[in-house]
Amino acid sequence: MTTDLIPDASALTTWRKSSYSGVNNSNCVEVADGFTSVVPVRDSKNPTGPALVLPANEWSAFISAIKSGTLVCS
């Protein structure tokens, strides 16, 4: 897996919150739209903090594993 880091995630403006984020906003993951080969990911509680930048195919595999139950996050 290859990842990069954006030190200040607020530099991107296309963030959207995961539909699976907690009701009380305690577990909020955001992804930035508009990129073809990478997916920036950040913690919405820290908008000026860092964001991981993952290859799109690895992000898709991660999401598929969660949806299929192969990978369980707690």
Dist. CA 59–CA 67, nearest whole Å: 12
User: ∠15-28-58 over CA atoms, to 5°?
Assistant: 70
Query: Which is it for the CA torsion 16, 12, 6, 53, positive or negative?
Result: positive
Greater model confidence, 1 or 63:
63
Residue 74 within a domain: no
Mean pLDDT for all residues in the chain: 84
Task: Provide the domain count of the chain.
Answer: 1
pTM of the model: 0.78
Greater model confidence, 29 or 55:
55
- The domain of 43 spans 4-68
Residue 31 within a domain: yes
- Judged by average pLDDT, the poorest of 21-25, 48-52, 68-72 is 21-25
Residue 1 has pLDDT above 60, yes or no: no
Residue 73 within a domain: no
Residue 26 within a domain: yes
pLDDT tens for 31-67 read 999 998 999 999 988 889 999 999 999 999 988 988 8
Residue 62 within a domain: yes
Residue 53 within a domain: yes
